[in-house]
Structure 1
Amino acid sequence: MKPSLLLLATVAFSFSCTRAADGIPASYPLKKCVISDEPFGGEMGKPVKVTHEGTDVYLCCKSCLKDFKADPAKYVKMVKDAAAKK
């Protein structure tokens, strides 16, 4: 491959693996924050990734971390349940 084609292929692959607007992997099963029910990448700013017992959970903002930390198992279950439905 020519260098320019390789660069284009790399960029195209990276966009296919993440949601371009919010940086969340395309495989993530939810489109909204499990805490606030706000869409990712909106007015709240850049999403925050937290991992609990091997499961990644994306929150709409840092403000949601407090609620997540209060009951992480509840929110991990929501992500796992959404993934099972897909």
Structure 2
Amino acid sequence: MKILSLIMCLTFVSFSFAEMSGHQKMENMDETVTITKTQTTCPILVGPISRTVYADHDGKRVYFCCMDCVKEFKKDPAKIIKQMEAKGIVLERAPLAKK
């Protein structure tokens, strides 16, 4: 009976060490994974966007829920775009303007 208990204890301990070494490997992995997402909410009122209400700035298209939000965006577009990109939101490219 003592031998069986000893074998079970050693098995448990070996599994514990194996599990810990896996965690150490995960901690040392390079953390370069970037999660990106498309825009689904208005950056001003945080409501659902309308694909017909948008503004283009520096080659990027930003969608909004209403024209009032577009007006607010135009006060400081670079700041709002920077905030969105910091959240991992990838903005669509604005179509090239016709000359």
For 1:1-86, list aligned pairs within 5 A: 29-41=38-50, 47-83=52-88
Stretches of 4+ moved more than 2 A in 1? 78-85
TM-score by length of 2: 0.45
Write 1 or 2 for the structure with the bigger share of strand: 2
TM-score by length of 1: 0.50
Unaligned runs of 5+ in 2: 1-36, 91-99
Q: Distance in 2 between matches of 1:59 and 1:78?
A: 15
User: Over residues 28-78 of structure 1, what are the superposed CA-to-partner deviations in whole Å (9 max), with x where a residue is unaligned?
Assistant: 72211001111124xxxx641111111111111111122101110112113
My pick for the range that moved more, 29-38 or 71-80, is 71-80
One-letter code of the match for 1:80? E
Unaligned runs of 5+ in 1: 1-27
One-letter code of the match for 1:35? I
Aligned length: 55
Output the aligned Cα RMSD. Answer: 2.6
Whose Rg is larger? 2
